[in-house]
Amino acid sequence: FPQAGLSGNNRNWYYRVVGQFSVPDYGRGSYSALLTLRVMKNFGGSVDDMTFSTALDLKFDGIKTEVDFVAWWRSERHGAHNPPHLLMGETKSLGEGDLIKPKDLANLKAISRKVPGTILVISVLRKDFTTSEKRLLQQFIKWCRRLDDHGRPANPVILLTAHELMFDYSISHTWKDLGEPFKSFSDYEHTRNLENFADATQRIYLGLPSFHEWREAEWRK
């Protein structure tokens, strides 16, 4: 209640949030983490496996840091058992100004050095990143694109906003309905695995060249 507009003499009525929505500070930051995990669990379909733990404190090499979640994710296709991917996430809810801070990316960089191959997931519960956040992310992703022993990015980075966190049916379906630039990446090729998905989100939100274009340019240098 109410299901219609309130009349002028009834403006003393208010909604009162209950349950999980009554916890202050956007559920103490849990909304964006849970929505991000929902995206990753349903990314490839219901047959994919994922197990996770949230809000972890990490200590290594004299460094103390934290991550909003750690997950093992494995794709299963046509009876083939693929090796799992390790995911680590930095998630932000709503707020004014820059939500992604240099300290957040410095922490992720330290983790990436310690655990090469980790797929990093950075999400904000709004529809875009700020100009300052984009500059920070561009530099961070260029570092994460350093090559591993197989010529692949050492740490793929997936960028998510409210568009993906509130996806309807599937990411591909949502991107197609959003129009450009999302629509150009709604085909199977850009969403068939986590590495391609990461590459697509970097091109959509930061305007970066694809990993293969970037790699070719580096070889030419």
What pLDDT digit, counting tens, does each position of 83-114 carry? 889 999 999 987 788 999 999 999 999 999 98
Instruction: Give me the residues paired with residue 89 across strands.
Output: 69, 121
**What percent of the chain is predicted at pLDDT more than 90?**
55
In the predicted structure, residue 136 carries a pLDDT above the cut 80: yes
The answer to whether the beta carbons of residues 102 and 136 sit under 8 Å apart is yes
CA–CA gap between residue 215 and residue 77 (Å, rounded) = 29
Alpha helix (H) ranges present in the chain?
24-28, 30-41, 102-114, 131-144, 162-165, 171-178, 188-191, 194-206, 211-220
Cα separation, 168 vs 173, in Å, equals 7
* Model pTM score: 0.86
At residue 151 the predicted structure's pLDDT band, cuts being 50, 70 and 90, is: confident
Dump pLDDT digits (tens) for 6-36. 666 766 666 677 776 667 666 666 888 999 9
| 1 pLDDT above the threshold of 50 | no
pLDDT > 60? residue 162: yes
- Burial of residue 192, with CB atoms counted within 10 A of its CB: 0-12 exposed, 13-18 middle, 19 or more buried: middle
For the chain, the 3-state helix, strand and coil shares in percent, each to the nearest 5, are: 45, 20, 35
C-alpha–C-alpha distance, residues 90 and 67, integer Å: 6
Return the residue matching tokens 């083939």.
Answer: 80
The structure tokens 């999980």 sit at 20
Task: Give dist(CA 163, CA 210) in Å, integer.
Answer: 21
| Degrees, nearest 5: CA angle 207-71-27 | 80
Find the distance separating the first CA and the last CA of the chain, reported in whole Å: 64
Helix or strand run (H / E) with residue 76: strand 76-77
Report the distance separating Cα 43 and Cα 122, nearest Å: 15
72: DSSP letter: E
What are the structure tokens assigned to 184, written together? 């150009």
